Structure 1
Amino acid sequence: MRTISIISQKGGAGKTTLALNLAVVARSAGCSVAIFDTDPQASAYQWSTWRDGDEPPVIDCGSPTLLPVKLKQAAKDGVDLAIIDTPPHADIMAREAAKAADLMLIPCKPQAFDIASAQTSAELARSSRKDAFVVLMGGPQRAAVVYSDVADVIEGTDEMEGMGVALAPVMLTQRAAYHHSIAQGQTVTEFEPDGKAAEEVNNLWNWLTTVIDIPLGHTKGENA
């Protein structure tokens, strides 16, 4: 089983949106996937109730001590990919999620306070010796100068030291489909499969499969 932990110490960074959209596109690609909701607000779990029990399953896991136990059980149950959605301002849970991760994703809006906050998650990735990427979320579709400046801050330049983590080459921009789909218990690849938001999520997933070896073709409940 592979584990992707989505970690940001800042609220509103887009962690749950990223987790849900990745989980659904992973399942459509043939993965048996489970979402681990470690946020006391349980937004991912609420979303799952709006789906009337449809896959992928969301596992409520509000205690750091329960996370490794439930991950181990998921692996025994044949889950190929675990996606951990973490709460903001939660050092202990963030450390547990980082420890369990094969890959860390750090969602971040292209704004000064958000980028500054991402530094904490980048430091966690470095101390955990885990591969990590910043995924830009909720920015404008066209802002080349802004994104160039953000890339310089995150990855560094000859004159400026970066965060020590890489910037994902795909971003999820500000699109209404992300909000409308979640409210209906869906994700963008279900809500508007031919839309621009769905294209972004598919591109992000395709890139992820080149970064981490994710088992495919074992969707839970289906024959491989």
Structure 2
Amino acid sequence: MSKPRKPTAPNKRAATNAVERNRGAGPAPRWISIQSPKGGVGKTTLALNLAELAARDGLHVALLDTDLQRSLTKWHLRRPEEARHLLLLTRPLAEVEEAIQELQQKKGLDLVIVDTPPAVEYVPDQTKILMEHSDLVLVPSTTGSADVESVIEWMGLLRRRNVRAAFVINRANTRVTTRHADGDEAAVGTLSYRDAQRHLNAAGLLCPVPVRQFEDINNSHGYGVGVVEVRGAKGADDFESVWHFVRNMAEVR
């Protein structure tokens, strides 16, 4: 179980909500940031699919792209006209304070999802601001040993700062096929997945459903849509389960 946030955080959130209600703007949006010191763990893919699922549930969603590579922004530019609207703000992590202020001026937002660059530890002051402003930090990892070691260290930092956070195993190969001498095939969990699951679960809260590795997830990105927008695509169910977990953890209403 993750540690509760600092006593001041809920009070600040409650005070902000009260001010917004007095202004007639409604409660302040919930903030979910996706952070990892490692690149290539699927932060952008997680961000865009969670945003689409939140919008499908009727929430007004903004995406904040703080990665200088602008992968999320490029994806957003490719979105077809008929796709569900997702507000996008592109700002470097160094300007996260300005980005927070700008999004606070947007009326009617329910949720902000932040995609961050790799090596967030090299901008510690701005990363700390984002951590403290987030209602939930998601820390994705593949099952690779280097990724697992890196994100466990990051989770340690989050826990020391009393930030509500959870791991998500991404790009997981949870099953392999082995052939027995009699010719029968049996699917078993891979050792790499089981080891990653065990280590991450010991270090912090772990989303119980991994996002598995499917080509459909990668292929959908080039069309400006999430895999959850493609009927019958493999991997959509995984993201839906992660969204249910995230919505409960971040108390998104």
- State the TM-score, normalizing by the size of structure 1: 0.85
Q: Partner letter of residue 207 of structure 2?
A: A
The count of residues paired between Structure 1 and Structure 2 equals 206
Residue equivalent to 1:98: 131
Q: Does 1:57 align with 2:93?
A: no
Shift of 1:87: 0.3
Deviation per CA, 1:35-85, whole angstroms, max 9, x where unpaired?
110000011001111115752122101142x32332233233121111110
Distance 2:146 2:117 in 1: 18
Distance 2:67 2:110 in 1: 22
Alignment of 1:121-136 (within 5 A): 121-136=154-169
Distance 1:24 1:71 in 2: 21
Distance 2:132 2:47 in 1: 18
Q: Partner letter of residue 6 of structure 1?
A: I
Residue equivalent to 1:195: 233
Residue equivalent to 2:221: 182
Q: Classify 1:212/1:90 alpha carbon distance in 2 versus 1 (closer, same or farther; 3 Å).
A: closer
Q: Residues 62 and 109 of structure 2 are in contact (CA less than 8 Å); yes or no, is this contact kept in structure 1?
A: yes
Deviation per CA, 1:10-57, whole angstroms, max 9, x where unpaired?
110111010011011111111111111000001100111111575212
Deviation per CA, 1:121-175, whole angstroms, max 9, x where unpaired?
212311321111110011114125433322221232xxxxxx2x21111111100
Alignment of 1:136-215 (within 5 A): 136-142=169-175, 143=189, 145-156=191-202, 163=203, 165-191=204-230, 193-215=231-253
Distance 1:141 1:181 in 2: 21
3-state DSSP of counterpart to 1:167: coil
Among the aligned pairs, what percent are the same residue? Answer: 30
Residue equivalent to 1:88: 118
Q: Residues 173 and 193 of structure 2 are in contact (CA less than 8 Å); yes or no, is this contact kept in structure 1?
A: no
Residue equivalent to 1:221: none
Residue equivalent to 1:21: 49
3-state DSSP of counterpart to 2:100: helix
Q: CA-atom RMSD, angstroms?
A: 1.7
Q: Partner letter of residue 161 of structure 2?
A: S
Q: Does 1:75 align with 2:104?
A: yes
Structure of larger gyration radius: 2
Q: Residues 48 and 57 of structure 1 are in contact (CA less than 8 Å); yes or no, is this contact kept in structure 2?
A: no
Instruction: Structure 2: state its 5+ residue gaps.
Output: 1-28, 176-188
Q: Partner letter of residue 40 of structure 1?
A: L
Q: Does 1:35 align with 2:74?
A: no
Shift of 1:89: 1.1
Distance 1:19 1:63 in 2: 16
